[in-house]
Chains A and B, each alone.
Chain A
Amino acid sequence: DTGVSQNPRHKITKRGQNVTFRCDPISEHNRLYWYRQTLGQGPEFLTYFQNEAQLEKSRLLSDRFSAERPKGSFSTLEIQRTEQGDSAMYLCASSFSGANVLTFGAGSRLTVL
């Protein structure tokens, strides 16, 4: 297992377009988290899954954002009708439930023009 994998690493899109990011967590981990990181800031929590169930969503996750983890393995984060304010690094992390150690992926950087 090579850790948490995120794709694509960088996405450039025009305002109004839809984008989708994929996260493949460490296979034994049943929890998966999405965070957003803007320049000069720490990661901000967006949502997390335990297996396929989405257990918590931040108020940062507007209606234009949707996350899924259909089979409890990989997850996708879709942003519809992108805005320039969506430009950020989207980080995925995974862990065992009941454990405090998060393993982060390298992130997917979104640039909205």
Chain B
Amino acid sequence: QQQVKQSPQSLIVQKGGISIINCAYENTAFDYFPWYQQFPGKGPALLIAIRPDVSEKKEGRFTISFNKSAKQFSLHIMDSQPGDSATYFCAASKGPGNQFYFGTGTSLTVIP
């Protein structure tokens, strides 16, 4: 059973465009929602994260939008760059330090 559902599976965006990746969850006990970025041959690295008490968090070109009632959250990458080409995973956890449930990933390609 997939605890966190992610879409789309792949995404192609022109340089300068906006990349949007969506995730949905069912377990209302989740209280931490990170996004991880993974380059080929590397482990996932934390990109940005949000807690359900806020609806949006922005760090540079990356923004998480969170809709608690819909149990959905999304990653927006503004002014997408070729260097953003990677696989992005959303995740969720309940309580600090507990296991993370990851989405299936989105392969982002930013075309120059």
Contact = CB atoms under 8 A, between A and B. Distances in A.
Contacts of B36: 104
Contacts of B93: 100
B5 to A, nearest CB: 11
Contacts of A99: 96-97
Task: Identify which of B32, B91, B99 gathers the most chain A CB atoms within 10 Å of its CB.
Answer: B99
B99 A33 contact: yes
B101 A45 contact: yes
Contacts, number: 60
A102 B46 contact: yes
B43 A107 contact: yes
Contacts of B100: 43, 45, 102
A58 B34 CA distance: 21
Contacts of A43: 44, 89, 100, 102
Interface of A: 4, 31, 33, 40-45, 48, 50, 56, 58, 91, 93, 95-107
12 contacts: A41-B104, A42-B4, A42-B89, A42-B104, A42-B105, A43-B100, A45-B100, A95-B97, A96-B97, A97-B96, A100-B97, A106-B42
Interface of B: 4, 6, 9, 32, 34, 36, 41-46, 49, 89, 91, 93, 96-97, 99-105
